[in-house]
Amino acid sequence: MSYAHTQVAQIAAISNERCIGKENQLPWHISGDLQHFKALTTAETNEYADSGFNGIVIMGRKTFESMGSKPLPKRVNFVVTTQLDYAEQHGLSDREDVHVVHNLDDALTHAANLAHGLKFDTIWIIGGEKVFKNALMFTDRIELTLVDTSIENGEAFYPEIPSDFEKVAESAPVTDEKSGLSYRFVTYQKKA
């Protein structure tokens, strides 16, 4: 289900048991995966280049805080939280690059309107566990980095991929030089 001709895509890096977080952080540091994430979430170009934005991301409050409560550059960041005074408390009220919303529907609606205005093709869902799970019904595409490792005491997990998605692309495995971890990129598309 596309939101007004804009694709909703999820992007995550997951372990063998689908772990995406531990102690509100990524359980690994893989520069190739971070570059992949940045390349995909800032891939948009438009005639309004002076907007300074090349992508739209939606995330939950914990994901935002795991990034030091700083918005991702060159992207419009939507932060979903039930805390009504979150924007005021964190000095985010009058920023163009951060919009605090109180449910996923509002985030998707505002992001779709913005994407339409900027002529962007994709809205990115970037975490965490609850936001991924709740956004699956609206999602057209899933971009996963499969990290070949097991995380003990993982605290956040990516949901099971629904049967109405099919694997459409998979990269060869790559080994991260610093961590020694092997990973590959996999794309799932919702069946028509």
99-135 as b/e: b if 16+ CB within 10 A: bbbeebeebbebbbebbeebebebbbbbbbbbbbebb
pLDDT classification of 51: cutoffs 50, 70, 90: confident
Residue extents of the structural domains in the chain: 7-190
CB 80 within 8 A of CB 62: no
How much is the pLDDT for 3?
A: 55
Residue 63's nearest CA partner among 93, 105, 107 is 107
SS3 106: helix
| pLDDT given for residue 48 in this prediction | 57
CB atoms within 10 A of CB 27: 21
Domain 7-190, what architecture?
A: 3-Layer(aba) Sandwich (3.40)
Interval 11-44: pLDDT, tens? 999 999 999 999 999 999 999 999 999 999 999 9
Assess contact for 164 and 190: CB atoms under 8 A: yes
Q: How high is the pLDDT of residue 49?
A: 56
Cα separation, 178 vs 175, in Å, equals 9
Task: Indicate whether 187 pLDDT > 60.
Answer: yes
pLDDT of residue 4: 53
pLDDT digits (tens, 9 = 90+) for 101-150: 999 999 999 999 999 988 899 999 999 999 999 999 999 999 999 999 99
Residue 11: closest CA among 151, 175, 185, 176: 185
List the structure tokens of 9.
Answer: 């895509």
